[in-house]
Structure 1
Amino acid sequence: MTDGLAFPLLLALPGLLLSPLAESLIHAWLPRLGGIPSPRVRITTAAVTALLFGLLAWRFGFSAELPAFLFLALCGVQLSRIDFTLHLLPNPLVLLLLGGGGGLLATAATLAPAWSELLRALAGGAILFAGYLILGLFSPGSIGMGDVKLAAPLGLYLGYLGWAQVLYGGLLGFVVGGMLTVLMLRLRRGEKPRETAHGPAMVIAALAVAMVMA
C-alpha cells in the first residue's frame, strides 16, 4: 500500500460507518419520511458514501477543507436517497447541509486563511439559488422548490472552489439529470413515465466538479 493510497482508504471506513448512523438519526429526527431503509439500500448508500470519502480524501488530502466536503458527501448521499425514493428534499436536511457546510467552510477559511474563498462561497450559493429560483418559477414542472433550496448549499461549496466550478457545477446538474431521466425510462420500459428526481443529479454534479476541477 503506497502512502498516497493509505489516507483515502483510511477515510473510506468512517464513510462506511457514518452512513447507517445518518439513516438512523434521520429516521428518529424525521419519522414522516418513513421507516429505516431496507438492508439493500443501506448497503448501497454505505458503499457510495465510503467511495466518496475515499475519493475526497484523495482529492483534498489532509486539508482544512476536507471535513466540509466529507460532510457534503454524507448529507448529499442521504438527500439523494430520499429524493430518489420519495421525490422530496426535506427542508431540515437541506438547512443542515447549508448551516453545517457553511460552518465547516468558515472554519477552513479561518485556518487557511482563505477569506476571499469564503466570500466567493457565499456569493456562489446566492447565485446558484437565484438561478434555480428563476428556473423553478418559469418551469415548475421540471424544477421543484426543493431543488431550488438545495442549490444554495451546493453553490456555497462550488463557490468556495471557484467561479468556474459554480458555472460547470450548475450546468452539469442538468446534463446528469437528463442522463438519469433517459436511464430511468429505459429501466422502466413499458411502465407509465414518472418524474425523475433532480436532487441526485445536482449532488452528483457538485461532487464531480469538486473532485475533477482543481
Structure 2
Amino acid sequence: MTETLMLLCLVGVLGLAVGSFLNVVIYRVPRGESLVRPGSHCPHCGNPVRARHNVPVLGWLLLRGRCADCHAPISARYPLVEAGTAALFVAVGTRFGWSWELPAYLYLAAVAIALSLIDLDVMRLPDRIVLPSYAVAAALLIPVSLAAGDPGAVLRGLVAAALLYLFYRVLSLWGLGGGDVKLAPLLGFYLGWLGWSAVAIGAFAAFLLGGMVGAVLLALKLASRKTRIPFGPYMLAGAFLAVFAAAPVSGWYSNLLLV
C-alpha cells in the first residue's frame, strides 16, 4: 500500500511538470516554433515568466489568471492541462503499478493530451509529435517484451498496427484525415501489446465516442453535417478507454457467452 501511494505521488508530481511542458508543446508546435528558445514568456507583452510563477497550477492561481507585468488574462487551459495530465498519469500509474511498461504508457498519455488539444485547435496531428512516438514506443516496449520472454506481445502489436493502418487508410478514401491515418498504427501497437480485446475496444470506442459527440453537437445546433470535426481526440480517448477497461469488458463478455 505504501509503495503504491508513493508511486501515485511520484507520477502525479511528474504529471504536473509534464503538463507544464505540454502547454509549451501545444502552443508552439503548430506554429513551428522552438520548444527551447525563448523561455516561457507572456504572449502579449513578451516578458519572461518568473520562476515562482512557473510552478504548475499554483503559479496561475497566484497570478489570479493574469500576467504579472501587463495583466493580460492567462487562459485557464494552462492549469487545466497541468492538472489533467497529473490526473491521467495517476490513472495510468494505478493501472500499471511498478512495472517496466509504465513509462511507455505515461509517454502515450502525454502525447494523447498534446495531440488532442492541437487537433482541436488547428485540425492537425503534427508529424513532429506523431512520427518520433513510433521510435519511443518501440524503445520502451520491445525490450520489456523480450526481457519477459514474451515476443508475442511485440508481434501482436505490429500486426495490430498494420491492421489499423489499413483500416484507416481505407477510411481516408472517404475523407478521413491523413494525420489520423498516421496515428492509427501507433495506437494499434500500444493496444496490440496489451491484447486483441484492447485493439477491438479501442477501435470501436473511437467511433462510438465521435458519433455520440457529433450527435450532441448536431442536436444543440453547434455543428452541421458539413462541419469538420477533428477525429484524433476520439481515437486517443478510445485508446485509453481500452487501456483501462479492456480487461474487465472482455471478462464480462466472456462470462456472458458462458451463461
- The bucket for the TM-score relative to the shorter chain is 0.7 to 0.9
In structure 2, what residue type is equivalent to 1:19?
G
Q: Is the 8 A contact 1:136 1:148 kept in 2?
A: yes
Greater Cα radius of gyration, structure 1 or 2: 2
Q: Which one has a larger percent helix, Structure 1 or Structure 2?
A: 1
Q: Equivalent residue for 1:121?
A: 157
**Is contact 1:180–1:201 with CA below 8 Å preserved after alignment?**
no
User: 5+ residue gaps in structure 1?
Assistant: none
Alignment of 1:87-102 (within 5 A): 87-102=123-138
Give the C-alpha shift of residue 201 in structure 1: 0.3
CA contact (8 A) 2:92 2:105 kept: yes
- Output the CA distance in 1 between the equivalents of 2:25 and 2:172: 31
Contact 2:4 2:97 in 1 (8 A): no
**Moved segments of 4+, more than 2 Å:** 1-10, 22-39, 110-114, 182-194
Which secondary structure state, in structure 2, belongs to the residue aligned with residue 211 of structure 1?
Answer: helix
SS of 1:64's equivalent in the other structure is: coil
Q: What is the root-mean-square deviation in Å for CA atoms of aligned residues?
A: 2.7
Segment of structure 1 superposing worse, 108-117 or 198-207: 108-117
Q: Deviations over 1:65-89 (max 9, x none)?
A: 1100000000111000000111101
Which one of the candidate residues 195, 202, 205 is aligned to 2:228? 195
2:212 to 160, 179, 182: 179
Q: Which moved more, 1:17-26 or 1:110-119?
A: 17-26
Residues in 2 aligned to 1:34 and 1:179: alpha-carbon distance in whole angstroms: 37
Letter in 2 for 1:15: G
Aligned length: 211
TM-score by length of structure 1 reads 0.87
Q: Which of these residues, 106, 109, 121, is aligned with residue 85 of structure 1?
A: 121
- Taking only the aligned residue pairs, the percentage that are identical comes to 34
- The answer as to whether partners of 1:8 and 1:56 remain within 8 angstroms in 2 is no
Which residue identity lines up with residue 20 of structure 1 in the other structure?
S
TM-score (normalised: structure 2): 0.73
Do the aligned residues in 2 keep the contact of 1:45 with 1:78 (CA within 8 Å)? no
* CA shift for structure 1 position 26: 6.0
